Structure 1
Amino acid sequence: MTMDSPILEKLVRCPACGGDSVYGPRNLFRPFCSERCKNLDLGAWASESFRVPTEAPPDEAPFGDPKLQ
């Protein structure tokens, strides 16, 4: 690669707003399009807005290994 050749940058969808985001060295917030979108995503993680759905055991179910009880 020479200094005269253009650097190809990929456009991806911003995970926060859905807009175009440059996925390359000049975008310090990649894969987000901006610092704002990056911080919104970080805030959602910090407030535990992103959760994996799970089934909670029934209230009467014992905790731990049932063989040990």
Structure 2
Amino acid sequence: MSDDVKPRIVSCPSCGGDSVFAPSNQWRPFCSERCRHIDLGAWASESFRVEASPPAEGQDLEQ
């Protein structure tokens, strides 16, 4: 890899700030350990959910 290649900057999924998306950023895609922990906490508390309706009675769950 050449030294003149600019690192890719992405938006942090937690705070929206700039985050370096490269092996040098150990928390990528997050900008910091704090943002990484905030996101993990949201998953653990089930704040991130996919809306779905319950299956109709008699409908198999596996298809």
TM-score normalised by the chain length of structure 2 = 0.79
SS in 2 for 1:21: strand
SS in 1 for 2:43: helix
Q: 1:56 is aligned with what amino acid?
A: P
Cα 1:63–1:47 change in 2 (3 A) is farther
Structure 1 unaligned residues grouped into runs of 5+: none
Q: Distance in 1 between matches of 2:24 and 2:30?
A: 12
- Residue 47 of structure 1 is matched in structure 2 by 45
Q: Distance in 1 between matches of 2:54 and 2:57?
A: 12
TM-score normalised by the chain length of structure 1 = 0.73
Q: Distance in 1 between matches of 2:30 and 2:16?
A: 9
Q: Distance in 2 between matches of 1:25 and 1:56?
A: 42
- Residue 62 of structure 1 is matched in structure 2 by 57
Q: Point out 4+ residue stretches in structure 1 off by more than 6 angstroms.
A: none
Greater Cα radius of gyration, structure 1 or 2: 1
Structure 2 unaligned residues grouped into runs of 5+: none
Cα 1:23–1:54 change in 2 (3 A) is same
Q: Distance in 2 between matches of 1:39 and 1:14?
A: 13
Deviation at 1:19, TM superposition (A): 0.3
Q: Distance in 2 between matches of 1:47 and 1:41?
A: 10
Percent identical: 58
